[in-house]
Structure 1
């Protein structure tokens, strides 16, 4: 098949999709399963008093432990009046990934001076460069809120940088949750409150690690629209004491049980069949620290589990539970081209789990559903209750004015709050498509709504043609230059002889694995992709779990990273203890 035929087949497919897209349409669920989080921590020497017990380090490690076993991305910024150390957003794909990140946190050191603007602005930059589409972004800022600037920087300069960074976070929908560390009573609460309020985050104040489970649970739950479920707390007596843990339905992806005790605890866990579970195991992750213990049950069976906790006598132990659901809300609306004041818009919504319509009646049984309608002209919002049935939520809204409206469905029960993606409808045209079979004898009138739709369809088709041509050109663009490749065995320190790989034989894209002669031990490099860049550059796209560094600094290339002639990068493999050095030369 030649390239021209391929282009026209693509166009034909797009045309068929356009002409067949009649009937009801759905506003899909928000992709809120995973998060992209940057933990920005003040590591100035002043924290020796404000954070004498390194509560900030414990908080960051607990946040890492609470994140999903696979899929969440977390980065770290350690700052004074400059960035001392940094980890770009890294995807958590295993328990060992979390252990590596927590080890990095434990190795952070302190330095002189403080400038909160540095911590906030750098965290925003990390999210801008590495955030993944569909993930929910956030920043957790840990500091006492006080600046200590060196002689070369004024407070006015710092305030300007901070104001710009906060505005950028707000514009991009990035909430900043601040944890104010107040061991010495010198917390600048007002400064932290402004940062959180302006970005729709929240301020928490603590001087003790005892508060961390509740704080981190609330941040994690609030951001993912989950709810913290307090379990029965206990006062330890030296024996195992039983606490009930209910898994309400089969859509629970992870159950996170946080156990707060200033002294060590022992735990046992029993499934609904009464069988004791090995801790840890393939399905149960167990993390401990100086301030907390965390049990994460993966894909737990529905039913009543039993947790048994043994603590030091008279020690008060608090226990909380957060369910992480593989659950979204999908909303369906009529496909009417236009509406007018007085029209009734029917709405139907349902829950989805694992990409399929959820059929578990228990999910709907105690749920409350609301249609949230925002008049985009007046900015006023109203909530319309929806009726709940065994497998859906149904209702309608009546259009009051010739305005544009945004609609979304919220579903809430004791364990979660979920919202559908928003959909927009318009009542400004004031005309609807004519009814069929009316038998009217009036002279036909032009339906500008339909005509406009036809014009829009033609424009879409033209855009599709241009897009297809650009895709074809991109797929056939060649490369220039070559890569110099060296492979280092991290166990022995031995390096291979540099190999020179010319790139002019490739078109459109190629895998790093191809440059490595498809060696099986380097199979994980199949998802490290190179494409032609602007001018004589190469664009690197990393979809693997490998860590890539340039100049000793880790960067995220999920959305592409340009390599110019002379650039040298280092790729650390995950499945074998080897690293690959690449230098691009023309």
Structure 2
């Protein structure tokens, strides 16, 4: 068939437009996939511990509080994934350890051994330590990690003859500004055993980098200081627990795990004398300390217990201390929860009097949460900062039990930063900030590409049919790829219907638990049976039993060694088995003598 030039141009236009649309769709799909991958990980940190190693510290840090502080910081970090570096300085860098990714308890032991080898020398220059710490963070930073510096010092300089105070001040000022520009907060711990602390210097360093400043003269306040640093940096909350006075006997302290989204529970115990500890889960089972899911660290100044993926409910911590010894206990939860605010409409401008509707959600592993236990005591607010007046106001948000909604009315022709915040007794989260510019002539909320200038074509030249057909073939392949990506995305985000009822039977005693009703509507794409069992360690083998949504049903895939039966007959679900309304199955575990009875109700 012969094609006219007009039709040819139309075909070229259609192909060009289709390619633009498809490339845009592919880009959006890639962005979504990247965001999902990022949200599927718990927060990690890149931290550099910076210690003044001058001989003046023999007086201001007689008990080597700094060493204990650094060790405790290392023990509080995640079991895997966090990165820690160490710098000791006088008027020069004495010893340095670049950022080391923690992959095992041995890595932590190596870092703590490095700290014990730090020797002290003459002179001191804070600018040297801070400058080097910023360089270490900058050279070893990792995407998705939250960087910070912890500086332990008495705040005083003692310079050699080749260095002036003005030179030191200038270098410190430049290093602090660079840290602020790179969003690296510096947390300072002022060591004041001799009462000669230069508090102002350390407070300014912290303030100028959006960090915090602390003062201590003994190891007694270390748990609170380190807990606050962790809480402030990772948006967590410190929960002070009931302190006890040792009497030579075990005393009970309740540790309440509020919901199934707690990744780690960090329990810090401060005592001047050695203590003994026991840990009993909500089911009444005592857990060995340490064990596979419990990390135990201690020194002469503290003990730290870290519980990985603890069961929801009341745990019992039993502590035995020496007679009349004061024992202080703090708790920090690390949550697998992010707060995300919906994007504003693109290409829109705002003016005074406009009302902007907003919505935020709690996400876990990229999926929206609708957990009653998590939502019931959460207070939600919208933080609105007028960037012209520097004033921040709070606007209450409505907690629907599945999201947080509200509105913001633009008052003045100013620029605003808005972000959502949620908190309860055990955690708080803030969303990423969104900027709104209501000034006259402001650009739309999302930028658009400039329209390209038209291109003049020479109609006398033959059309490049080889390129056109090749481009059309590429377009078809790209279309197939995009449709495949969209199908996979749709499948990954498909919602469930109904709920399951779970009973657990002890095959030795024949005792059964009360039925537990688990709604599936809060999940998308897939859910593991182990998640429905609140990630209890004894049911770890159910991690390979997966449910995906069907049409008014669920599809079960079994890659575990568990035996699955329906109506007394075993069946193979390795390639998928559909469960319809009122279907009842029995799952017999292989590593513990228990079975799980599961009913699906659509």
Normalised to the residue count of structure 1, the TM-score between the two structures is 0.69
Distance 1:129 1:449, change over 3 A: closer
Q: Secondary structure at the match of 2:287?
A: coil
Distance 1:201 1:20, change over 3 A: closer
* Counterpart position of 2:378: 367
Between the aligned partners of 1:458 and 1:429, the Cα distance in structure 2 is 28
* Counterpart position of 2:593: none
CA contact (8 A) 1:137 1:175 kept: yes
CA drift at 1:331: 0.8
Residue 394 (structure 1) aligned with residue 405 (structure 2) = yes
CA offsets per residue over residues 166-203 of structure 1, 9 Å max, x none? 12122222221111111222212222222222222222
- Out of 288, 307, 315, the residue aligned to residue 278 of structure 1 is 288
Query: Structure 1, unaligned stretches of length 5 or more?
Result: 1-7, 432-447, 460-586
* Counterpart position of 2:258: 248
Between the aligned partners of 1:404 and 1:30, the Cα distance in structure 2 is 33
Q: Secondary structure at the match of 2:342?
A: strand
* Counterpart position of 1:320: 330
* Counterpart position of 2:247: 237
Distance 1:333 1:396, change over 3 A: farther
Residue 346 (structure 1) aligned with residue 341 (structure 2) = no
- Out of 313, 321, 327, the residue aligned to residue 311 of structure 1 is 321
CA drift at 1:451: 13
* Counterpart position of 2:157: 147
Residue 129 (structure 1) aligned with residue 139 (structure 2) = yes
Between the aligned partners of 2:449 and 2:107, the Cα distance in structure 1 is 52
* Counterpart position of 1:301: 311
* Counterpart position of 2:474: none
- Out of 433, 447, 455, the residue aligned to residue 450 of structure 2 is 455
CA offsets per residue over residues 283-332 of structure 1, 9 Å max, x none? 00000001000000001010000000011111110011000111110111
CA contact (8 A) 2:223 2:270 kept: yes
Determine which structure has greater relative contact order: mean sequence separation of CA pairs < 8 Å that are 6+ residues apart, divided by chain length. 1
Instruction: Count how many residue pairs are aligned between Structure 1 and Structure 2.
Output: 432
CA offsets per residue over residues 351-374 of structure 1, 9 Å max, x none? 111222122112111111111223
CA contact (8 A) 1:349 1:409 kept: yes
Runs of 4+ in 1 over 6 A off after TM superposition: 8-12, 18-21, 26-32, 448-452, 456-459
* Counterpart position of 2:595: none
- Out of 421, 430, 433, the residue aligned to residue 410 of structure 1 is 421
- Out of 13, 23, 33, the residue aligned to residue 14 of structure 1 is 23
CA contact (8 A) 1:237 1:313 kept: yes
Between the aligned partners of 1:147 and 1:30, the Cα distance in structure 2 is 45
Between the aligned partners of 2:20 and 2:98, the Cα distance in structure 1 is 39
* Counterpart position of 2:583: none
* Counterpart position of 1:58: 68
Between the aligned partners of 1:365 and 1:48, the Cα distance in structure 2 is 51
Q: Secondary structure at the match of 2:374?
A: helix
CA contact (8 A) 2:39 2:364 kept: no
Cα RMSD, aligned residues only: 3.0
Between the aligned partners of 1:253 and 1:458, the Cα distance in structure 2 is 54
CA drift at 1:16: 3.0
Q: Secondary structure at the match of 1:455?
A: coil
Distance 1:41 1:340, change over 3 A: closer
CA contact (8 A) 2:268 2:331 kept: yes
* Counterpart position of 2:105: 95
* Counterpart position of 1:200: 210
CA contact (8 A) 1:18 1:457 kept: no
| Greater gyration radius | 2
CA offsets per residue over residues 219-262 of structure 1, 9 Å max, x none? 11111121110111111110111100000011111000000001
Between the aligned partners of 1:114 and 1:419, the Cα distance in structure 2 is 39
Residue 357 (structure 1) aligned with residue 368 (structure 2) = yes
Between the aligned partners of 1:423 and 1:456, the Cα distance in structure 2 is 26
Query: Structure 2, unaligned stretches of length 5 or more?
Result: 1-16, 455-602
CA drift at 1:115: 0.8
- What pairs up with 1:178-193 in 2 under 5 angstroms? 178-193=188-203
CA drift at 1:380: 4.0
Between the aligned partners of 2:444 and 2:26, the Cα distance in structure 1 is 20
CA offsets per residue over residues 382-417 of structure 1, 9 Å max, x none? 321101111110111122344443321111111122
Between the aligned partners of 1:218 and 1:451, the Cα distance in structure 2 is 37
Q: Secondary structure at the match of 1:39?
A: strand
CA contact (8 A) 1:333 1:345 kept: no
* Counterpart position of 1:477: none
CA contact (8 A) 1:429 1:449 kept: no
Distance 1:266 1:457, change over 3 A: farther
Residue 268 (structure 1) aligned with residue 278 (structure 2) = yes
Distance 1:430 1:385, change over 3 A: farther
* Counterpart position of 2:234: 224
Between the aligned partners of 1:310 and 1:384, the Cα distance in structure 2 is 47
Normalised to the residue count of structure 2, the TM-score between the two structures is 0.67
Distance 1:192 1:285, change over 3 A: same
